[in-house]
Amino acid sequence: MATATATATATVADAGAIYETFGGCVIGSPGGIDMHRVILHSDMNAFYASVEQAERPELRGVPLVVGGHEETRHGIVLAKSAQAKAAGVKTGEALWEARAKCPGLVVVPPRYDVYQRYSALARRIYYQYTDLVEPFGLDECWIDLTGALALSTRAPLDVAREISQRMKDELGCTVSVGVSWNKVFAKFGSDLRKPDAVTAITPENYQQLVWKAPVGELLYVGRATRAKLHSSGVDTVGDLACASPELLRRRLGKVGLVLRAFARGEDATPVKPFDPTRNEVDRTVKSFGNGLTCPHDIVCAADAKALIYLLAESVAQRLREARFRASTVSIGVRDAHDLTSYGRQTTLPRATNTTGQIARMAWELLSANEPLDEEHPLRGLHVRASNLEPMDAPQQLDLGFDARRRVLEDLDETIDDLRRRFGNTCIQRGVELMDESLLDLDVKRDNVVHPVGYF
C-alpha cells in the first residue's frame, strides 16, 4: 500500500493506488477498494439518559433529561430519554422550556464519571470480538470484524445482532448498529434507523439507502459545506457521488474530492485500535483541540477564564502526551443568543506545550474579543493548538527563555504524573475553582477529542 504523509493532496496520482489524505483518512480508487471488509459502527442511544435509567430503575419509563444544575436559571438539556423525546423535548433547550412541554419531567444532573464507566464497559464487550475498536466520542465506536470473521462461519449481521443484544442484557442500553465495508457508510447505517436497530449498507443497497439521503447526513459534511454544495446543485449524497471532480475541487478544494470519494463508498480508512498511550488521537493530526458547550451560559469573566484554563489544560496535556509543541493557539466562541460561532488565533515566536502559556494566550484572545457580561452570554468555547512540531525538534537556544520554560515544563510534568496516578480531577488550578459547576467536570476524560481541522 502506497501511503503518503499528512501533507499529501487528494490528487489521484496513479490508478489503483491507495493514498492517504490529510488527517489520516484513506481513499481508495475504485479498483482498489476492498468491499469485503466488515465494519460496524455502534452508537449507544440517548446515552446519558439511558445510563441514568439503567443505573436507577425508578427512572425507567419516565420522561427524563440530564441537564445543567437545577438551581441556575440557565440550565440546558444535555440529553433526553425516549419518553422526553416523545414529548418534544430537544437537546440544548432551556430546562424551563423542556418543563413547559413535558409536565412531570424529571431532571437529573450529569454524572460524567458514570458515563465514562459505561463507555469502557461497552468497549469491553466489543473487545471480545476484536481488538480493532476505535472510539468516536463516549458513546460510539467503529469495530472492524474483517479478520475475526475470516476465521468463522458466522454472518456479519448475526454478530451485529448479538452485540446489540448483549449491550441490552449486560448494560441495559440499546444501540443502533450500522454494518458496511467502510467507516463512513457504517456510521450512516447506525444513524439511519434508531433506537435499537441493525442496518446493513451493502454494495447492493447503498445507492438506494445512502444516495437518496440529503448530503448533510454524510459524515463530515457540516453546515458550511452543505451550503456550498447546495449552491452548486448538489443536494443528495448521490449528487455528490456523481458530481464532477473539477466542480468539487473548485468549490471546496481537496476536501471536495475526499467527500466525493466517501459518497462513492471509496473510504478505505482503517479502524484505528484504541491506544490509551496515544490518548485516542492519531499521530497524523494537525492540531489538538477541545471544546465544551457549557452547562449554563457564561456571563462573567471568572467563569470564562475557568473554562478556558480547563480546556487549555487538557489540550496542553494531550500535546505533551503525544510529544508535540504548538506555536498557534486558537479559540472558538459560540454566542448564546443566536448560536453563531467565530474563531480567533495567535501565533507565538516559539512553540510550547505548557498549560500556562497556552491558557494565557487563549484567555488573551477571548478577553480581547468578548465583553464577558450579562448582555453578551456565551454558550460554548473551544481551545485549539496547531502548527505542531515534535518535542525533540531542535529549538534555538535562549538561556533566559529556556530556564523559564524549564520551570513551567517541570510543573506540568509533575501535574501530569499526579493525574496519571490519581485521576484527572485530583489536582486543579485555582482559577478553575471559581465556577463550582465545573468542579466535577473532567474535560480531558469526558470529551474525547476527535482529530480536528481537516474538514
Residues that bind Mg ion (CB under 5 A): 43, 47, 139
CA-CA-CA-CA torsion sign (6, 12, 13, 16): positive
What are the start-end ranges of the E strands in 248-355? 287-298, 324-335, 341-352
Q: Which is nearer to Mg ion, 41 or 320 (CB)?
A: 41
Residue with smaller CB distance to Mg ion, 139 or 435: 139
Smallest gap, in angstroms, from Cβ of residue 110 to Mg ion? 15
Q: Round to whole Å and give the CA distance between 41 and 267.
A: 14
Task: Give the nearest distance from C-beta 316 to Mg ion in angstroms.
Answer: 29
Cα angle 252, 258, 260; round to 5: 85
Return contacts of 56-60, CB within 8 angstroms, 24+ apart.
Answer: 59/106, 59/108
CA torsion angle 71 75 79 85 (round to 10): 100
Rg for the chain, CA atoms, rounded: 23
Work out how close the CB of 220 gets to Mg ion at its nearest, in angstroms, rounded to a whole number: 17
| Binding annotation | 43, 139
Active-site choice (20, 52, 140, 432): 140
- Least spacing, CB of residue 171 vs Mg ion, in Å: 13
9 is written with which cell numbers?
493532496
The annotated binding site for Mg(2+) is made up of 43, 139
In the complex, residue closest to Mg ion by CB: 139
**Residue 140 known to be catalytic:** yes
Q: Which is nearer to Mg ion, 173 or 438 (CB)?
A: 173
Question: Cell for 281?
Answer: 488521537
The residue assigned the cell 433529561 is: 65
Quote the least distance from Cβ 44 to Mg ion, whole Å: 5
Half-sphere exposure of 202 (CA within 13 A, CB side): 7
Of 43 and 313, the one with the shorter C-beta distance to Mg ion is 43
Cβ neighbourhood burial of 86 (10 Å; 0-12, 13-18, 19+): exposed
125 versus 322: smaller Cβ distance to Mg ion = 125
* Rounded Cα gap, residues 178 and 183, in angstroms: 9
∠ CA 294-296-297, nearest 5°, is 90
Nearer of residues 22 and 185 to Mg ion, judged by Cβ: 185
> Comparing C-alpha atoms, which of 432, 452, 256, 221 is closest to residue 343?
452
Give whole-number Cα distances, 286 to 146, 150, 304, 376, in Å: 29, 35, 26, 32
State the nearest-atom distance from the C-beta of 95 to Mg ion, in Å. Answer: 21
Q: Which residues are catalytic?
A: 140
